[in-house]
Amino acid sequence: MYSLAQHLLDVVLARIPKAQMKYWDGIADALSNGVGLEQTLAGRDLPNEIDEILSLETAQFIKKSEESVFNEVLNGQRTLRFSSLVQAFPPSLRGIPVVTTNYDRLIELSCEVVGLHADSMFIGNSIGRFHPKESAYSFCRGIRRRQGKIVLEYAPRMKIFKPHGSLDWYVSDGRPLRCPYNINLPALIIPPGETKYRAGYQEPFDAHREHANREIDIGKRYLIIGYGFNDDHLQTHLDRNLRDGKMCLVLTRDLSDAGEALIKECPNMMALTKDNDTEDATNFRDIDGMSYQLKGDLWDLGKLVEEVFI
């Protein structure tokens, strides 16, 4: 978020219409004084012009970093931590759900590079249309009879829900589409801190949010990675389930203030965080609220998979 905030400070000023400058001045002052991007933008009712500039510049900034990672992975120079994690998951006939508030496509890449399909509810390659049911059926690899009933067999897949949008989502002719190429349209993403869903973009956002919340409700346990517990669109369902006692492991470098407050209220919530006082050590918060120091950087997803899952 810090790098993105600096990028916005560098480029947005020159693009703001003079009539809207008063809105940007307050944002720029907060960012320049070290206030976090999400905190700075939260609750601000910004004009559409500024929303569109923030969306466009946010997408372009993240795309540059994403492209570098794609090149390294596909050239065999890098292995993503999430790729190692998904290979350790047991297979699931209904698909393993992943909810992400990120816009990038690194989770999709992490899955597909190890041969696991990624279902984001769009169907098509160059121009993907939003069809949740058809997308699910596209992963069907066979039909068989089981106890006199017809059963569809699906290829192993991850069901990926992106309630904040994705860098490859656009609107063309009034309809949402997914396109892997850079085209001259603003990406369908919700910038950090924005509290409303923009008119006309309801279909992909709402469906992904509803599916994400449904998976949160029916899930028996959660693995939460690098999340700050500050998202109003998901927190209602997640908080309720955690307070009801569902098992959860949080994996993050530093637990946010919201995460710290929540973990004190939830009976089966655990956390692995970096021990800032000792090198190569992890702080483990157990379900009873007790803290223990563990050897190694187990708060790091790659290290956790290497030491525990494999």
Q: Which amino acid is at 272?
A: L
The answer to whether position 110 is within a domain reads: yes
pLDDT band at 19; cut points 50, 70, 90: confident
- The three-class DSSP label of residue 210 is helix
pLDDT, position 5: 85
At 200 the pLDDT is: 39
- CA–chain centroid gap for 263, Å, is 21
Residue 301 lies in a domain: no
Look up residue 233 and give its amino acid. H
Round the average pLDDT of the chain to a whole number and report it.
Answer: 89
Two structure tokens written together for 122:
């769009």
Q: Give the mean pLDDT of 75-94.
A: 90
Separation between Cα atoms, residue 50 and residue 257, nearest integer Å: 29
β-partners of residue 225 are: 251
- Residue 205 and residue 221: Cα distance in Å, rounded? 24
| Residue where the block lists tokens 């069901």 | 159
pLDDT number for residue 149: 87
| 157 in a structural domain | yes
The pLDDT confidence band at residue 298, using thresholds 50, 70 and 90, is very high
Which tokens belong to 88? 């350790």
In order of 38, 161, 271, 273, 289, the CA distances from 268 in angstroms are 28, 25, 10, 16, 9
Query: Averaged over 154-164, what is the pLDDT?
Result: 93
Q: CA–CA separation, 239 vs 216, rounded Å?
A: 10
The reported pLDDT for the residue numbered 193 is: 62
* Interstrand relation of 122-123 and 175-178 (parallel, antiparallel or unpaired): unpaired
| This prediction's pTM | 0.90
In 120-220, where do the E strands start and end?
122-123, 128-130, 140-146, 149-154, 157-161, 169-172, 175-178
Over 50: is that where the pLDDT of 153 sits? yes
Residue 179 lies in a domain: yes
Residue 47 pLDDT exceeds 90: no
For the chain, the straight-line distance linking the first and the last C-alpha, in angstroms and rounded, comes to 32
Q: What is the pLDDT of residue 194?
A: 57
- Closest by alpha carbon to 226, among 53, 138, 65, 100? 100
| Residue 114 resides in a domain | yes
Task: Say how far apart CA 221 and CA 198 lie, in whole Å.
Answer: 32
In a domain, 281, yes or no: no
In the chain, pLDDT over 70 holds for what percent of residues? Answer: 96
Q: How confident is the model at residue 284 (pLDDT cuts 50, 70, 90)?
A: very high
Rg (CA), the chain: 21
Determine the Cα–Cα distance for residues 196 and 6; give it in Å rounded to an integer: 24
Which segment of 52-66, 114-128, 154-168, 182-196 scores lowest on mean pLDDT? 182-196
Q: What is the pLDDT of residues 231-273, one digit of tens each?
A: 877 889 999 999 999 999 999 999 998 999 999 999 999 999 9
Whether residue 150 is contained in a domain is answered as yes
Please report whether residue 122 resides in a domain: yes
In the chain, the amino acid numbered 92 is: S
The percentage of residues in the chain with a pLDDT greater than 90, rounded to a whole number, is 56
Question: What single-letter amino acid sits at 75?
Answer: N
What would the pLDDT profile of 162-220 be if each residue is shown by its tens digit?
999 999 999 888 889 999 998 888 889 887 765 444 443 588 899 999 999 999 999 99
Domain range spanning residue 213?
A: 2-218
- Split into its structural domains, the chain has a count of 1
